[in-house]
Amino acid sequence: MTPREVLALCREREIQAIDLRFMDFPGTQKHFTIPAKILVEKSFEDGFGFDGSSMRGWKAINESDMLVVPQPDTAFVDPFMPNTLVMTCNIQDPITREDYAKDPRNVARKAESYMRSTKIADVANFGPEAEFFIFDDVRFDQNEHECYYHVDSIEGQWNRGKAGSGPNAGYKIRHKEGYFPVPPADTLQEARTEMMLALMDCGVDVEAQHHEVATGGQCEIDMKYAPLLKTADNLLRYKYIVKNVAAKYGKTATFMPKPLWNDNGSGLHLHMSLWKEGKPLFAGSRYGGLSEMGMYAMGGILKHAPALFAFCCPTTNSYKRLISGFEAPINLTYSYRNRSAAIRIPVHSPHPENKRFEFRCPDSSSNPYLAMSAVLMAMLDGIQNKIDPGHPLEKDIYDLKPDELAELPGVPVSLEEALQALRDDHKFLLVGDVFTEDVIDTWIWYKTDHEVAALRERPHPFEFAMYYDI
- What are the residue ranges spanned by the domains of the chain? 3-100, 123-468
Written as one string, the DSSP assignment of 44-92 is: HHH-EEEEGGGSTTS--GGG-EEEEEE-GGG-EE-SSSTTEEEEEEEEE
Binding site feature residues for ATP:
207, 271-273, 339
* Angle, in degrees to the nearest 10, between helices 104-118 and 368-384: 20
pLDDT in tens, 107-153: 999 999 999 999 999 999 999 999 999 999 999 999 999 999 999 99
Binding site feature residues for Mg(2+):
129, 131, 212, 220, 269, 358
Catalytic residue among 24, 136, 155, 212: 212
Single-letter residue type at 339: R
- 427 Cβ contact list (under 8 Å, min separation 6): none
Q: What is the pLDDT of residue 338?
A: 66
**Quick check: is 212 catalytic?**
yes
- 143 Cβ contact list (under 8 Å, min separation 6): none
Provide the whole-model pTM: 0.95
Whole-number Cα distances in Å, 415 to 188, 260, 316, 402, 410: 32, 19, 5, 25, 14
Catalytic residue among 103, 136, 220, 263: 220
Bridge partners, 253 (sequence order): 134
**Quick check: is 339 catalytic?**
yes
Q: Where are the beta strands (DSSP E) in 243-316?
A: 252-254, 268-276, 279-280
**Quick check: is 233 catalytic?**
no
Binding site feature residues:
129, 131, 207, 212, 220, 264-265, 269, 271-273, 321, 327, 339, 358, 360
123-468 under CATH 1.10.3720.10, yes or no: no
Helix, strand, or coil (residue 77): strand
Catalytic residue among 24, 129, 136, 233: 129
**φ, ψ (nearest 5 deg) of residue 437:** -60, -35
Separation of alpha carbons 3 and 14, rounded Å? 16
Angle at 269 between CA 324 and CA 139, to 5 degrees: 70
Single-letter residue type at 321: R
Q: For the chain, which ranges sit under pLDDT 70?
A: 59-63, 337-339, 348-349, 396-399
Where is 249: in which H helix or E strand? none
Q: What is the pLDDT of residue 431?
A: 97
Is the dihedral angle over the CA atoms 255, 256, 258, 263 positive or is it negative? Answer: negative
Q: What is the pLDDT of residue 63?
A: 58
Q: What is the pLDDT of residue 393?
A: 80
Q: What is the pLDDT of residue 327?
A: 83
Binding site feature residues for L-glutamate:
264-265, 321, 327, 339, 360
Residue 257 DSSP code: S
**Quick check: is 417 catalytic?**
no
Catalytic residue among 103, 112, 186, 358: 358
Separation of alpha carbons 143 and 217, rounded Å? 28
Single-letter residue type at 403: D
Catalytic residue among 109, 356, 360, 426: 360
From 284, 265, 233, select the one nearest 112 (Cα to Cα): 233
Are 283 and 358 in contact by the 8 Å Cβ rule? The answer is no
Quick one: how far is CA 202 from the chain centroid? 19
Separation of alpha carbons 330 and 410, rounded Å? 6
Are 378 and 428 in contact by the 8 Å Cβ rule? The answer is yes
Helix, strand, or coil (residue 466): helix
**Quick check: is 152 catalytic?**
no
Quick one: how far is CA 80 from the chain centroid? 23
- 262 Cβ contact list (under 8 Å, min separation 6): 175
**φ, ψ (nearest 5 deg) of residue 463:** -65, -30
**Omega into 389 within 30° of 0, i.e. cis?**
no
From 114, 15, 100, 123, select the one nearest 52 (Cα to Cα): 100
Catalytic residue among 131, 136, 186, 222: 131
Give 35-42 contacts, CB < 8 A, sequence gap 24+. 36/10, 36/83, 36/85, 39/6, 39/7, 39/10, 39/70, 40/7, 41/3, 41/4, 41/7
Burial class (CB in 10 A: 0-12, 13-18, 19+), 250: exposed
Q: What is the pLDDT of residue 392?
A: 87
Separation of alpha carbons 101 and 91, rounded Å? 9
Separation of alpha carbons 82 and 468, rounded Å? 53
CATH code matching the domain that covers 3-100, chosen among 3.10.20.70, 3.40.47.40, 3.30.70.3270, 3.50.50.60: 3.10.20.70
Backbone Cα Rg of the chain? 23
Rounded (to 5) percent helix, strand, coil in the chain:
40, 20, 40
**Quick check: is 129 catalytic?**
yes
Catalytic residue among 51, 177, 396, 404: 51
From 39, 367, 84, select the one nearest 233 (Cα to Cα): 367
Catalytic residue among 339, 353, 417, 423: 339
Q: What is the pLDDT of residue 61?
A: 46
